[in-house]
């Protein structure tokens, strides 16, 4: 039993744990210098959207995320129409109304009495 204890102590002293205790202390560390401040960001300007309309037309715009996605144009003596950018790539489509024409059936198909 005593031999087993001596062998265990020798293994512990020769193991990496025992060797780790015999390492030299690390050299003195110096603090890092202060980092310079980041450069200022350039001023971001919103892109100007210019859509020519006739003089006298009333134009109302709808923005989403800073982008113009829809314009409602009302002529002085006419019916309003809409210019819609559905894809987001700048291709404007004219619509005379925002109604897409889809009608959901509202009548019962079968009832259980």
Q: Structure tokens of 60?
A: 């109302």
Residue 65 lies in a domain: yes
Position 21 pLDDT exceeds 60:
no
Q: Is residue 104 very low, low, confident or very high in pLDDT (cuts 50, 70, 90)?
A: confident
Interval 5-18: pLDDT, tens: 777 777 766 666 44
Residue 63 has, within 13 A of its CA and on its CB side, a CA count of 7
Look at residue 73 and give its three-state secondary structure. strand
Question: According to the model, what pLDDT value does residue 6 have?
Answer: 74
Residue 113 lies in a domain: no
Question: According to the model, what pLDDT value does residue 18 have?
Answer: 46
Largest CA distance in the chain: 111
Interval 25-70: pLDDT, tens: 778 888 989 999 988 877 766 666 566 667 788 888 888 888 888 8
List the domain range (segments joined by +) for residue 86: 58-95
Look at residue 10 and give its three-state secondary structure. helix
Total domains in the chain come to 1
Provide the edge-to-edge strand list for the sheet that holds 81-84: 58-64, 67-74, 81-84, 93-95
Look at residue 6 and give its three-state secondary structure. helix
């Amino acid at each position: 039993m005593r031999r087993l204890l001596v062998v265990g102590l020798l293994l512990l002293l020769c193991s990496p744990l025992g060797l780790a205790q015999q390492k030299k202390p690390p050299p003195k560390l110096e603090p890092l210098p202060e980092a310079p401040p980041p450069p200022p960001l350039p001023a971001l300007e919103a892109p100007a959207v210019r859509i020519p309309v006739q003089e006298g037309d009333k134009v109302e715009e709808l923005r989403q995320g800073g982008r113009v996605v829809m314009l409602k144009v009302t002529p002085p003596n006419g019916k309003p129409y809409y210019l819609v950018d559905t894809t987001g790539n700048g291709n404007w489509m004219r619509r005379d109304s925002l109604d897409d024409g889809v009608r959901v059936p509202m009548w019962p198909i079968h009832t259980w009495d």
